[in-house]
Structures are given as C-alpha cells and as structure tokens.
Amino acid sequence: MASTPLPISNSLATAASLRHPSPLLLNPKSRPYPHLLSPRSSKGVAFTRVPTRKPSSFGVPYRFSSRRGLGFVPFFGNNGGGESSEGEVVDEADAARGQSTLPERFRYLTKEVPDRPVRWPWIIALGFLVYAWRTVLWELGNWKKATLAVISFFSYLSKFVLAFIFRFIGDPLTGLIRCVEFTLYSLRYIYSSIVAFAPVPELTRIILFSSAVLAIAEATVPESVERQQFILSLSGLIAFGAVSGYILEIFFWFFLCSFFLYSYFFRKRDAVSAALPSAAVLVAVGEPWVRILVFCLYLSLAIFQYSKSSEIQRTEVSGSVRKPPVPLQVAALSIGIHVAAKWIRHRHLTWMIA
C-alpha cells in the first residue's frame, strides 16, 4: 500500500543521515539512479509500510520503497509527534513475514504458489486398487491351493479306508450288488413283458380252471388250500418255469410227483389234499386234453372221498379268512396291469379327439 507523502526538512534529513549512515545502495557509482542523491522536494514518495527494526530518537525510521528504482526514503512517524495518514493499511502478509531483510521488490517471489490440481485422481486410486486386488488374488490363490491340498489328502485317505474295508468284504459285497442288479433288471423285464405281451386270455383260463380245482378241494376237505399255501406257491413257480423253458419237462413231472408223495406220506394228508398242487398245475398249464383228463380224475377222486367221509368231517370248518394262492394273485395282477396300460395308451392317443 502507498502512504501519503510527508514533507521533510533539511535539518531532520541531516540528523537522520548522521544517526544512520547511508548504505552502499546510495553510492552514485554503484547505482544507476543518480537522481536519488538530489535534494528531495517537498513532495513525498509513495512507499509500503513494514515493521521497523528500531525507531530512532528522532522518530525517523527507514522504509523500503514500494516503487522500483528507489532507495531508502526517511519519513517522520508518530513518535515525533506527527500525524499518521488515514490511508495507511498494514499488510497482513508482510506483517506475518516478520523482520525480513528481503527487499520489497523481491518479496512477491517468496509467496507460495498453489499446487496444480490433480486432473485424474481416480487413475491414482485405480493404480492402488489394482495393486491391492493383485495382492488379494495372490492371497486367495494361496488359500485355494491349501484347500485343494486338504481336500485331496482327505480323498486319498477315504480311498485308503475304503480299500482296507473292501479287502475283507469285497467279494460278498460284489455278489450282493450283482444279485440286486439282477433282481432289478429281472423285475424291469417282467414288468415290460406284462405291459407289452401279457396273454390275458390264457391267464384268464388259468385263473378259471385253477379256481375250479381249488373249489372242489375246499368243498371236499375244508382248509385244504389254507394248510399248504407254500407248496401251492412253489408249484406255481415251477409251472411258470416249465412254460418259459427254464425247466425241462422231465423235471417238471418229477417235481409234481414229489409234491404228491411228500404231502401224502410225510405230511399224512388225504388223497384230495395231497393231489391238489399237482392237479391245479396240470389243469392250469397243460394241454387241452391233459386239462380235461386231470379235471375229470380229480373230480372223481373228490366225489369218492366225500362219500366216504362222515358228517362230522364235512361240517368241520374254521372261521379263518381264506386267501387264494399267490400264483393266482400274480396272474390277476398281471391282467390288471396290462389292461390299465392298454387303457392309458388308448386314452393318450385319443384324448384330443374326444
């Protein structure tokens, strides 16, 4: 800030020059400004006010001129009784710098220059994030390797334990698995055969003729069917094997004779009950003439035994629930499955037309 020019008398200037010798800056040989040595006019020079080192007894401190090319210019301050100018304003920046010996014309060089703003700050953050993420991936890779190593160790351990167990129970376990596999495939084949190729008329005739023989036996000897369910089921299985070709005909007749002899001699049953399994099988799967012959012979045997039995034996009937033999139930179930599958196929093909 420029201050108001003050008139300075020659006496005060002389006293100030004796008190404070002029610096070398005022040498006319070293300065290119000879007008500074000329007597000062009454008009003052504008200058900037800064804090002084030590005021003189005459109250004439030295100030640095704010104008370029000027030397030291004395002025009369408040200590000498002069009046201060109203336009004097203390620069806060200059006051903050304190007792500085740097000339005023170079002080603008000491001001702090603001840093240039970062134009792309996210690029710097992106670099740090990439580095951090690379570190995270490296750490995750280590954890992955450790986890895979632990899993592989437990897998090898489980294989070792399984091999140790299989060393002792390997053969029985393999046989059991093969048996289960054979059973499942057999059931699948039987079910497919029943659905696709079940002979419904033949099964119906088997059920009808066998039921007639069983009814004759029950009428002659009560509970004759209920007492030998196992033999009847076994005879039905042998009959199925003979029809399918798994059992030869000679073995088929051998099994039928064995059933009769076992029931008649070992189980001490009557002739009608002992001949029931063989007669039911022959009537069910035999040739037409064999069926008629066996049916007539068995009916004659039942009539003969019924005529010889007493009234007490005829009326001796228990209250148990009578169930048909298992072969007859399987035949009836096969007929039901085939008919249901045929109806479903027919319904699936004609539901859009209906």
Q: Please report, in tens digits, the pLDDT of each residue of the chain (354 residues total).
A: 444 444 444 444 444 444 444 444 444 444 444 444 444 444 444 444 444 444 444 444 444 444 444 444 444 444 444 444 444 445 665 565 556 677 888 877 777 777 777 677 777 788 888 888 888 888 888 999 999 999 999 999 999 998 888 888 888 888 899 999 999 999 999 888 888 888 899 999 999 999 999 999 988 888 888 888 999 999 999 998 998 888 898 999 999 999 999 999 998 888 899 999 999 999 998 889 999 999 999 999 999 988 887 655 555 555 566 788 899 999 999 999 989 888 888 777 666 554
Residues 6+ apart with CB under 8 A from 318: 222, 223
pLDDT of residue 96: 58
What pLDDT score does 19 carry? 45
88-95: long-range contacts, CB 8 A cutoff, minimum separation 24: 88/1, 88/3, 88/4, 88/49, 89/1, 90/49, 91/1, 91/48, 91/49, 91/50, 94/48, 94/50, 94/51, 95/51
Instruction: Say what the pLDDT of residue 316 is.
Output: 54
C-beta separation of 77 from 61 below 8 A:
yes
pTM exceeds 0.95 for this model: no
Q: Cβ contacts of residue 47 below 8 Å, gap of 6+?
A: 2, 3, 63, 64, 65, 66, 67, 70, 73, 75
